[in-house]
Copies of this chain bind each other. A is one copy, B any other.
Amino acid sequence: MFASHLECPKCLTKYDTEQPHQLCSCGSPLLVKYDLAAVAARMSKSDVAARPPDLWRYRELLPVIAEENIVSLGEGMTPLLKLERLGTRIGMSHLYLKDEGIIPSGSFKARGAAVGVSRAKELGVTTLAMPTNGNAGGAWALYCAKAGIAAVIVMPKDAPAIPRSECAIAGARLFLVDGLISDAGKIVGQAIGERGWYDASTLKEPYRIEGKKTMGLELAEQFGWEMPDVVLYPTGGGVGLIGIYKALCELREMGWVSGELPRLVAVQATGCAPIVRAWQQRAAESEFWENAHTCAFGITVPKAIGDFLVLDAVYKTDGCAVAVTDEATLAAESLLATTEGTFVCPEGAACMAATQKLLADGWLGPDERVVVLNTGCGIKYPETVTSDPRLLQPSDRLPD
């Protein structure tokens, strides 16, 4: 393993990787640091190309030590689709969709779960707990089942229903809360303090982000070890955006990519846009968003613990933060399906809506290489689609 230590991005305190750690004593999330010179000396691009198409192809840049601790369901190397028809329709010549719906559990949360659960297993964790807006809970419940780790999951009662089925069939202990993910987080936090469980909440353990960062590694590889110009990411907790930024910085330090990083765009909903408000104020952190509500439930996060890392990545890459209405999101979901045949989740559709908005504003150029990150499959959100087909009898003819 090439991970050397954990480091606090706020106060720079270092921690070892042998013991389970959660937050830094200063309250900040911890990040995994690697001996990148050693990785660059050991791993080549052709090594990577010859490996199976899952995220473990980047194992030297991942924190798991022993192969027997890897808990994998085949996650990663999701398709990067060029949107020719949609691009032509809206006037963009190099528009891409990274489709994270094509992954175990149907959402990008599988990446964080695969690496997070593998490390938890390696560290000897027997019970973990987490609040979730749904998909992370479903993914962690399933990976924990495979790892033999007990999982306690708390999600808002208004979260989409299908992740409940994932938790149930995986045998996790599932609770609903009449509130938001922040309320679920308080309940989990109290239980963890009392019972000594491992806290798998967003960024409260340092390994989930290592799984998410593989989206950045894959984007670089899929673009032939070049970088696109812009990546739009639906931002709730923001781990994926922080992860993509971390991945590209690591690749640049290794000499595998060069030049400017892509401008990273944090996409939120107008009904829950704390990062956008902070970015507009050029603030370093966000404020709690009251009465949060959007159809893109996964990004209903009123205050993200890693908000300062998200904003830092956006500032450092000359990116931006943009909020879209639910109406625009649902229109973009339909547009993607009818022109490109992809049924994306509302969070991914929000990124498509943001692309159209930023193109109209002139912030995006028509010939830039732009990646819309779709974080999950639309089949987990059937309620976003209206279908009222006509019922025929067997003796009927098909209507005109």
Q: A-side interface residues toward B, CB under 8 Å?
A: 49-50, 53-54, 71-74, 77-81, 85, 99, 101-106, 142-148, 152, 154, 157, 161-162, 164-171, 174-179, 183, 186-188, 190-191, 333-334, 337-343, 377-380, 382, 384-387, 389-394, 396-399
Contact = CB atoms under 8 A, between A and B. Distances in A.
Given A169-B334, A175-B392, A382-B161, A398 B79 contact: no
Copies in the complex: 2
A166 B379 contact: yes
Given A161-B382, A175-B392, A177-B394, 7 more contacts: A104-B341, A154-B392, A168-B385, A170-B341, A177-B393, A177-B396, A379-B379
Most buried by B among A103, A170, A187, A398: A398
A105 B179 contact: no
Given A146-B339, A339-B145, A341-B146, A165 B390 contact: no
Contacts of A78: 74
Contact of A392 (B169, B178, B333): B178
A179 B190 CA distance: 53
Sorted nearest first, the 3 A-B pairs with minimum C-beta distance are: A74-B79, A146-B341, A53-B53
A162 B79 contact: no
Nearest to A155: B389
B186 A394 contact: yes
Contact of A391 (B101, B103, B177, B387): B177
Given A106-B379, A337-B169, A387-B164, A398 B175 contact: yes
Given A339-B145, A341-B142, A343-B105, A169 B394 contact: no
Nearest to A186: B394
Most buried by B among A161, A162, A390: A162
A168 to B, nearest CB: 4
Contacts of A147: 341
Nearest to A117: B341
A171 B337 contact: yes
B392 A176 contact: yes
A341 B73 contact: yes
A382 to B, nearest CB: 4
Given A102-B74, A334-B169, A397 B146 contact: no
Contact of A337 (B106, B154, B170): B170
